[in-house]
């Protein structure tokens, strides 16, 4: 997996006019999956690290619709990249099976997450060593 496969920044078109800004995100058009779920994260302190997991199934797009945050992505083979989410018309696409940490939240951060799946706690890998093992050795329990 190279850095591009690990994550890619998306720039959405802005439908602004004199009344203000609007960004539209449609599944399979502006992002590479149908949207099954949305959630948003706000009120996280600057020193909080969220995420700290990989997902076997879910793909995500993260958009800071207000404020800023950072996301660190790791492929489990020693490659990592940090992306700044700091504009409401840009997002980051994260495929399944990447490790992600979200951190450095501004006080006004509202991080919108679009997901390709409904929530299933079973598909989360929350132990980094286990993630590395699965990436590098495969795993009999993989779905």
By CB under 6 A, tell whether 51 contacts ligand TYD.
Answer: yes
User: What's the count of helices (H) and strands (E) in the chain, helices before strands?
Assistant: 2, 10
CB of 119 to ligand TYD, least distance (A): 4
SS3 call for 21: coil
Please choose, from the candidates 126, 130, 136, the residue with its C-alpha nearest in 3D space to the C-alpha of residue 78: 136
By CB under 6 A, tell whether 41 contacts ligand TYD.
Answer: yes
Residues labelled as active-site residues: 53
Q: Which is nearer to ligand TYD, 22 or 48 (CB)?
A: 48
> What's the chain's length in residues?
143
CB of 99 to ligand TYD, least distance (A): 12
Which of these ranges, 10-18, 37-45, 73-81, 91-99, lies near ligand TYD under the rule CB under 6 A?
Answer: 37-45
By CB under 6 A, tell whether 119 contacts ligand TYD.
Answer: yes
34 contact partners, CB below 8 Å, separation of at least 6: 27, 28, 116
Which of these ranges, 13-21, 24-32, 36-44, 64-72, lies near ligand TYD under the rule CB under 6 A?
Answer: 36-44
Nearest-angstrom CA–CA distance, 51 and 32? 21
By CB under 6 A, tell whether 73 contacts ligand TYD.
Answer: no
Q: Left (φ > 0), alpha (ψ -120 to 50) or beta: where does 30 sit?
A: alpha
By CB under 6 A, tell whether 39 contacts ligand TYD.
Answer: yes
Q: Which is nearer to ligand TYD, 15 or 37 (CB)?
A: 37
What tokens does 80 get? 């990592």
What tokens does 55 get? 């997902």
Please choose, from the candidates 103, 108, 27, 25, the residue with its C-alpha nearest in 3D space to the C-alpha of residue 11: 25
Q: Which is nearer to ligand TYD, 22 or 82 (CB)?
A: 82
List residues binding ligand TYD (CB under 6 A): 37, 39, 41, 50-51, 119
């Amino acid at each position: 997996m190279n850095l591009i496969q690990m994550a890619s920044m998306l720039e959405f078109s802005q439908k602004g006019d004199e009344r203000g800004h609007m960004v539209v995100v449609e599944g399979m058009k502006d992002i590479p999956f149908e949207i099954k779920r949305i959630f948003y994260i706000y009120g996280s302190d600057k020193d909080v690290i969220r995420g700290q997991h990989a997902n076997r199934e879910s793909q995500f797009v993260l958009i800071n619709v207000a404020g800023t945050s950072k996301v660190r992505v790791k492929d489990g083979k020693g490659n990592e990249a940090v992306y700044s989410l700091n504009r409401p018309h840009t997002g980051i696409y994260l495929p399944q099976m990447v490790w992600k940490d979200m951190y450095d939240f501004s006080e006004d951060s509202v991080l919108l997450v679009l997901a390709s799946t409904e929530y299933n706690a079973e598909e989360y890998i929350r132990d980094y060593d286990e993630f590395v093992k699965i990436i590098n050795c495969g795993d009999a329990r993989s779905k």
